[in-house]
Chains A and B, each alone.
Chain A
């Protein structure tokens, strides 16, 4: 187990290195005139050149990258070109917002989709069709529409929740809950739909397994068979999908963060990437790579726990 984790972490580090190099290369192909954006369109060329030199953008991309790498290894990610904020502090301020959303959505999705998928897969027939229609509707509804309707109804009209902003968990739990509930629900609609379908599929697969019939033949009550045996066996494939959803959420969070005015990683990614704020983007890249590696590791460990056969690898 420890050997496995160590190997995975080492592979992850190699991955992070290669991705940082790829990303830096992509970003430093000159397509965005950072200095001129900073100085305004009216800036004279000499001024722009001076600014580029000040930012170190006049050097070859490889040198820039190695510089960045050397600093990053020491934990120094620099400051944003566009807001002068310390990159690590900027990320540290925004990460909890997005993590709250992602954790919340994952929890809601895991619970609801397990319930719905299990219900549909076990009962089939009319229940199945109902759940499928529910899932497909959730899947087909444009995400922004769901989000807008939720804000309009629950925040603006009914006033149950704040429409914008984020209150940190460390400040007040209820405040935190009030600011993240709507965004989490809005994001969950789509992901519950997707994962519930997956759970339904694997439940149907498992129900068809010989050992389920044998368990029935042993005279065990159906509830016990489903909750103990079917659930555990169906959970592994559902878990991989949930893991992929979690990673995909980073992108999905953008829209919700924008509409709810949440200062998170998602909306940050779009804004700072469009402007070409390399110090911030590189940190975001690293965060997301580490996130993916950690999530994949967690999913694999969990799957190993659920499915002993997968432990050997």
Chain B
């Protein structure tokens, strides 16, 4: 004990001569340090992806701006109008915007960007699949002609598909990946940026739009939340999103830390195999309903998320038009009823990605399902190899996912209901087939709610709960959560008080 005591002054001495590195720069300069757990593949808009959007928002502008509450407002486009058939979207563009090299932002630039985006082979390229042609009317007007109505198009134009880079850079090969060139409020500080670790953005000399409050913004990558929480507590980081319940507890208790809650992801089992291709018994809606009755959502929420969230039975989030509050508690925990519905025991094999399926989740699902005669077998997979087995080999009937809940109904439909990655067997049924065209054309609330109700009643999914995420700051920043995104837009940070 004495020895430790003797050791402490030594450390203090070391610390004293090391100064205070946590407050860099002159006081006049306002800087913001954000932590992230997302690595952007590149800073080329064609590689842009939902959770990496803040990186792109710093250097590029989108055609449409997405406000924190999910509504759309003008950005590079000042106005937009659909025709009656919803297959033609006219955009009016700002005339006073130029790229860094002085070349103007105009309709031709929009056309060039979008065409490159579609052909770029990026993850989001599919979002413009419905766009048939892009017509340049004049320098400030452009018309998108659609093959069929796409109710989520404006949302996409506020997302990756709406990011506008300087067409002059397209010819320069890979350069955009590391040297982005857009019209955004910041530019990448090449000297201080270490790709893969820390990206530093500094204010551009003249920005056409609203001046953001910070002169420099740095986004640092971490692979674990422990480090992020420690950084927030020592004020080395100003803002971050904390997902893990235990880390949330750790950061809430700290002095000076300010937090904002947001429910975004839901956790649950996506049952792809509603046609019974891998597990024949899943073909029967009664079995899927039985599974929904078999799990004890409230206890799971209390113990696994430590009460941080809201149990749910639906995949539509509260911000959507299709959302129905009563569906959150549609399936009560009722083992007798579950046994009755499932009738005969069977085996269900699911992949286990440790980052998503915690010990507690794995064990409790196993126990709950065993109680109603379903033998749940977990197959351990690494995050890397999981994707191969799940999506290419189609080896499983379902998987546990944390899914972001988009506020745009058509995005939800596109991700979960239409044939695609999460409906890999392309399953559909009569009710869905009847409702989808109506929704696509008009997007009326009644139809969406009918669809949602049908999906729940028919047991398409096995949702557990919506998880509460915590936006935390060291006290110096006010963070406004972004509707429809787990990470706030770059515009949503402001100095506190």
Contacts and interface: CB of A to CB of B under 8 A. Distances in A.
Chain B interface residue number, banded: 35 or more
Contact of B21 (A90, A154, A179): A179
A163 B121 contact: no
B432 interface: no
A175 interface: yes
Contact of B196 (A43, A90, A156, A167): A90
A54 interface: yes
A60 to B, nearest CB: 19
Nearest to B15: A160
A39 B237 CA distance: 30
Nearest to A157: B233
Interface string B215-233: 0000011111011101101
Interface string B234-260: 101100000000000000001000000
Interface in B1-36: 11-12, 14-19, 21-22
Interface in B414-469: 415, 420-422
Contacts of A33: 384-385, 387-388, 391-392
B316 to A, nearest CB: 18
A44 interface: yes
A82 B39 CA distance: 8
Nearest to B124: A40
A261 B21 contact: no
Contacts, number: 177
Contacts of B360: none
B174 A84 contact: yes
B124 to A, nearest CB: 8
A177 B121 contact: no
B122 A39 contact: yes
A93 B194 contact: yes
Interface string B384-412: 11011011100000000000000000000
A38 B123 contact: yes
Contacts of B198: 263
Contacts of B196: 80, 83, 85, 90, 93, 263, 268
Contacts of B22: 162
A36 B388 contact: yes
Given A84-B42, A164-B237, A174-B18, A31 B388 contact: yes
Chain A interface residue number, banded: 35 or more
Interface string A77-109: 001111111100110011000000000000000
Given A83-B42, A174-B18, A155 B391 contact: no
B392 A36 contact: yes
Contacts of A260: 227
A239 to B, nearest CB: 26
Contact of A164 (B17, B47, B122, B234): B234
Contact of A271 (B15, B42, B223, B236): B223
Interface in B95-141: 121-126
29 contacts: A32-B384, A32-B385, A32-B388, A33-B385, A33-B388, A36-B391, A40-B123, A41-B390, A43-B126, A83-B40, A93-B196, A94-B197, A154-B11, A156-B233, A156-B234, A161-B15, A162-B234, A164-B222, A164-B231, A165-B231, A172-B21, A178-B15, A181-B15, A259-B224, A259-B226, A261-B230, A263-B221, A267-B223, A271-B223
Interface of A: 30-33, 36-45, 47-48, 50-51, 54, 79-86, 89-90, 93-94, 148, 151, 154-156, 159-165, 167, 172, 174-175, 177-179, 181, 258-261, 263, 267-268, 270-271, 274-276
